[in-house]
Homo-oligomer: A and B are copies of this chain.
């Protein structure tokens, strides 16, 4: 398997840069429904966290996980993890529609929650999670890998903070992905479960917009979705785009799709274009291309 061709199983490894001592921050992994869980665990461990437990109803998934991280203990139930007072955080990549429910359960047990994107599939879930965060004082954190786990994307944020391009006026993002339908689980094709393309992979784009422009809130001015060619999967939206305006007047357009051409060596030629009052910033091929460094930046 060429992992570059599969975004869902791409698990970046970064530089080890520990911010906690051994045993200081213990975490567990559960809900191995999406391959992103591996990248999430890599990131936590590189920062010094200790992976203690893994649990998933599908024992095969736990076995595969243990092959990657041999020191991990396979729990008999989620409750083993939730009752373990040593565990400070639970990382999970559940089916999107189940992410909120799991997160609230985790926080109610006094642990922080680290979920793969998208964090929610409905606005009701968002409200429930907000309430639970207030009640428990715990954190509901999201793995937006396209910004958090891409060196050029982090660097772009630092440059913007330093005023390198002035005030950010507009952000255009392209998030193409490879479908590889044969490797996808059934929930991936059920809209109620994956939440729609704008929710699933579009949420990456919106997070980047909010972060780079420094907006706290934004309005969706227009959006559209389509099933152009994946007719055998009637609930799969294979194309989507949206345009937003932020609370400081900055605007965004993004488009996402499941239509990376077969010939491309990566799962998608992602791009980000930032227009500032003084300069422009372009991040091209944010994802790893064969033989290239991951992420190329132009100013």
* A residues in contact (CB < 8 Å) with B: 169-170, 172, 174, 176, 221-222, 224, 226, 228-229, 239, 241, 243, 245, 249, 251, 253, 255, 257, 259, 261, 263, 269, 273, 275, 277-280
Min Cβ gap A299→B in Å is: 9
Residues in B whose Cβ lies below 8 Å from that of A261: 278-280
Q: Quick check: B239 and A170 within 8 Å, CB to CB? A: yes
Residues in B whose Cβ lies below 8 Å from that of A221: 222, 224
Residues in B whose Cβ lies below 8 Å from that of A259: 169, 275, 277
Give Cα A249 to B249, complex, Å. Answer: 30
Interface of A is mostly: strand
Q: Quick check: B224 and A277 within 8 Å, CB to CB? A: no
Give Cα A255 to B170, complex, Å. Answer: 10
- Given the known interface contacts A239-B169, A261-B279, A275-B259, the answer about A226 and B253 at a Cβ–Cβ threshold of 8 Å is no
Give Cα A216 to B296, complex, Å. Answer: 38
Listed A/B pairs (30) with beta-carbon separation below 8 Å: A169-B226, A169-B228, A169-B259, A170-B239, A170-B241, A170-B255, A172-B174, A172-B255, A174-B273, A176-B275, A176-B280, A221-B222, A221-B224, A222-B222, A224-B245, A224-B251, A226-B249, A228-B249, A239-B251, A241-B251, A241-B253, A243-B243, A253-B255, A257-B275, A259-B275, A259-B277, A261-B278, A261-B279, A263-B279, A269-B280
Residues in B whose Cβ lies below 8 Å from that of A170: 239, 241, 255, 257
Give Cα A224 to B220, complex, Å. Answer: 13
Min Cβ gap A62→B in Å is: 39
Question: CB-nearest residue of chain B relative to A252?
Answer: B241
Residues in B whose Cβ lies below 8 Å from that of A249: 226, 228
Residues in B whose Cβ lies below 8 Å from that of A174: 172, 273
Question: CB-nearest residue of chain B relative to A165?
Answer: B261
Interchain residue pairs A-B with the least CB separation, the first 9: A222-B222, A261-B279, A253-B253, A169-B228, A229-B277, A221-B222, A222-B243, A261-B280, A243-B243
Min Cβ gap A270→B in Å is: 12
Q: Quick check: A253 and B257 within 8 Å, CB to CB? A: no
Give Cα A174 to B255, complex, Å. Answer: 14
Residues in B whose Cβ lies below 8 Å from that of A241: 170, 243, 251, 253
Give Cα A253 to B273, complex, Å. Answer: 14
Give Cα A25 to B266, complex, Å. Answer: 53
Residues in B whose Cβ lies below 8 Å from that of A222: 221-222, 243
Residues in B whose Cβ lies below 8 Å from that of A228: 169, 249, 277
Min Cβ gap A283→B in Å is: 14
Min Cβ gap A286→B in Å is: 15
